[in-house]
């Protein structure tokens, strides 16, 4: 007995997806990851990218973000938790130091008997650069 639970494999495709995410500070969407992955492995399929992302996510290696759009973005799990500010003019995503906010929210939830497992803050607005260019005043 003890058939030994066979650990799932870190295959080439999965590694490519992880590498791409690890090597980018951006928050990539599946389509972009797919395009970058094809540059390294012309035969990889979009379905595999999605399956790899799900697998990596399940193992805690990457995180999925919903930045208010219709599709998801992904990033490698950060050591420091952070939140995201999305500029509604240029689309840039800026990371926010989140410890304080998360701490406060945790307290709030715990005091109501809620056990928090995940936390995501989504801020939209106009970034400094776009404000300077007056684009934010349209």
**Pairing assessment for the beta strands 93-97 and 82-87 based on DSSP bridges:** antiparallel
Q: Is 47 near DNA (CB under 7 A)?
A: yes
Q: Is the dihedral of CA 105, 22, 56, 36 positive or negative?
A: positive
Nearest to 31 by CA among 62, 92, 74: 74
Instruction: Indicate which single residue of 12, 26, 125, 133 sits in contact with its own copies (rule: CB under 8 A).
Output: 125
Shorter beta-carbon distance to its own copies: residue 2 or 100: 100
Q: Is 54 near its own copies (CB under 8 A)?
A: no
> Considering CB distances under 5 to 8 angstroms, the limit depending on partner class, which of DNA, its own copies, none binds residue 88?
its own copies
> Considering CB distances under 5 to 8 angstroms, the limit depending on partner class, which of DNA, its own copies, none binds residue 29?
DNA
> Considering CB distances under 5 to 8 angstroms, the limit depending on partner class, which of DNA, its own copies, none binds residue 52?
DNA
Nearest to 28 by CA among 71, 75, 69, 60: 75
Laid out side by side, the sheet with 62-66 consists of 28-29, 72-76, 62-66
With a CB cutoff of 8 Å and minimum separation 6, the contacts of 67 are: 27, 73, 84, 86, 93, 122
Shorter beta-carbon distance to DNA: residue 12 or 92: 12
Q: Is 25 near its own copies (CB under 8 A)?
A: no
Scan residues 62-91 and list those touching DNA (CB under 7 A).
Answer: 70-72
Shorter beta-carbon distance to its own copies: residue 3 or 70: 70
Backbone angles phi, psi at 72, to 5 degrees: -95, 155
Write out the residues near DNA by the rule CB under 7 A. Answer: 6, 8-9, 11-14, 29-31, 41, 43-48, 50-52, 54-55, 70-72
């Amino acid at each position: 007995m003890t058939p030994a639970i066979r650990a799932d494999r870190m295959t080439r495709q999965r590694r490519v997806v992880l590498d791409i995410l690890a090597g980018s500070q951006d928050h990539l969407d599946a389509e972009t990851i797919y395009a970058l992955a094809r540059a390294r492995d012309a035969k990889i399929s979009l379905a595999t990218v999605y399956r790899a992302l799900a697998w990596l996510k399940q193992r805690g290696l990457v995180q999925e973000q919903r930045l208010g759009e219709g599709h998801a973005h992904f990033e490698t799990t950060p050591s420091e938790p952070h939140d995201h500010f999305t500029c509604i003019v240029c689309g840039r995503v800026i990371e926010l130091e989140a410890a304080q906010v998360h701490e406060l929210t945790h307290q709030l939830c715990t005091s109501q008997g809620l056990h928090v497992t995940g936390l995501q803050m989504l801020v939209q607005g106009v970034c400094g650069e776009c404000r300077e260019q007056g684009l934010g005043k349209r």
